[in-house]
Amino acid sequence: MSIEGSPILDTGEAQLSEDDFQRIARIAKAGWGLNLDPAKKPLIRSRLGRRLKALNLTEFKAYCAVIETGDATESEHFVSALTTNVTHFYRELHHFEMVEDELAKGLAARAKAGERLRIWSAGCSSGQEPYSLAASLIAVLPDAARYDVKILATDIDLGVLKTAQAGRYEAKTAAFPTPQLKDRVFDPGQDPDARDINVRPGLKKLITFRRLNLVQPWPFAGQFQIVMCRNVAIYFDKATQKTLWERFSDILAPDGLLFIGHSERIPNPPEIGLNPVGITSYRKTIAKN
């Protein structure tokens, strides 16, 4: 069967035509820069199919109309359904080791001397990355809260941001590379039989959580010494990725560090003022080529 000549994928109660998929893809790209891979149609059909049921809709075209009206609540569900928030504490440990090395070699001393230190976790998901950054910061600079030191943590998904701000995690899912790293983030004195555990209050004080769409204007000024944007650009097409890398380069302080995801690469980084300095790690040069 087909609708207007387009093949249909069966979702049970609803059907997703190729035309519907292309309309969803256009909405996702225009509003959030998301590039939907046709190979992921079954996943998209399944996730958005749940939203149809929640809204008592029987057609994807009707659902698209809801999103196109600018319905803020459903738009949040739409973005959440199309993205995957998979993360854990100290994921890709080598990046955090490099951060700590950078802090020990000068950034911490400069902060003590009164300089501004800013770190950005862009695409922070449910908070494991910024809390790991805060723990690494305190490991090198225990009294960081006394200085002009802040971590900005942003994500497009309000649902995961709510979890991140709470700083409360299910104990059995709070995995770490080593027990020592876990003790940095969670007080080992908490009830060992508790279902949920809370991050250390000192870490939360260093982090500001904000909602941000990376493909729209960034509502802040000033430069960052460290930026982590890992496994976010995979949702964008090549042109959008290129623009994003350029914008990160522009906002990095001289000698600042940019960390990206393990499956991401920046083609010809010197063209945008970056030099590779490790696995998916780049340093800002003084000027672009």
Rounded Cα–Cα distance for residues 287 and 270 (Å): 9
Domain end residue (candidates: 37, 53, 82): 82
> Stretch 106-135: mean pLDDT, rounded?
97
**Residues 197 and 140 grouped into a single domain:** yes
**Residues 74 and 135 grouped into a single domain:** no
Position 264 scores a pLDDT of 93
Q: C-alpha distances in angstroms, 17 versus 1, 6, 39, 156?
A: 10, 6, 14, 27
Rounded Cα–Cα distance for residues 26 and 93 (Å): 36
The percent of residues above 90 in pLDDT, for the chain, comes to 59
Which residues belong to the active site?
47, 155
Write the single-letter amino acid at 70. Answer: G
Domain end residue (candidates: 82, 109, 135): 82
Above 70 in pLDDT, residue 12?
Answer: no
152-182 pLDDT, tens digit per residue, is: 999 998 889 999 999 999 998 888 999 999 9
Identify the sign of the CA torsion 208, 185, 145, 140: negative
CATH of the domain at 168: 3.40.50.150
DSSP labels for 86-99?
A: ---TTSSHHHHHHH
* Local confidence band at 39 (pLDDT 50, 70, 90 cut-offs): confident
**Residues 164 and 108 grouped into a single domain:** yes
Helices (H) and strands (E) in the chain — how many of each? 11, 12
Looking at the 3D structure of the chain, how many domains does it have?
Answer: 2
57, 14 contact by CB (below 8 A): yes
Position 86 scores a pLDDT of 66
Rounded Cα–Cα distance for residues 163 and 87 (Å): 13
**Residues 184 and 268 grouped into a single domain:** yes
Above 60 in pLDDT, residue 7?
Answer: no
The percent of residues above 70 in pLDDT, for the chain, comes to 93
Rounded Cα–Cα distance for residues 93 and 224 (Å): 21
**Residues 261 and 193 grouped into a single domain:** yes
Instruction: Please report whether residue 265 resides in a domain.
Output: yes
Please provide the size of the chain in residues. 289
51-75 pLDDT, tens digit per residue, is: 888 888 888 888 999 988 888 888 8
**Residues 41 and 104 grouped into a single domain:** no
> Stretch 114-119: mean pLDDT, rounded?
98
**Residues 97 and 71 grouped into a single domain:** no
Residues with Cβ within 8 Å of 268's Cβ and at least 6 positions away in sequence, in order, are none
Position 8 scores a pLDDT of 35
Write out the residue range of the structural domain in which residue 54 sits. Answer: 2-82
What contacts 24+ positions apart, CB below 8 Å, involve 157-162?
A: 157/76, 157/79, 157/80, 157/83, 157/85, 157/125, 158/76, 158/211, 159/76, 159/80, 160/80, 160/85, 160/124, 160/125, 160/126, 160/127, 161/124, 161/209, 161/210, 161/211
Question: If 0-12 CB within 10 Å is exposed, 13-18 middle and 19+ buried, where does residue 37 land?
Answer: exposed
Instruction: Please report whether residue 289 resides in a domain.
Output: no
195-224 pLDDT, tens digit per residue, is: 999 999 999 999 999 999 999 999 988 999
**Residues 134 and 75 grouped into a single domain:** no
Instruction: Please report whether residue 61 resides in a domain.
Output: yes
The whole-model pTM stands at: 0.81
**Residues 73 and 203 grouped into a single domain:** no
* Element (DSSP H or E) covering residue 63: helix 60-68
232-282 pLDDT, tens digit per residue, is: 998 899 999 999 999 999 999 999 999 999 989 999 999 999 999 999 999
125, 155 contact by CB (below 8 A): yes
Domain end residue (candidates: 82, 109, 138): 82
**Residues 232 and 269 grouped into a single domain:** yes
Instruction: Please report whether residue 19 resides in a domain.
Output: yes
More confident residue, 6 or 183: 183
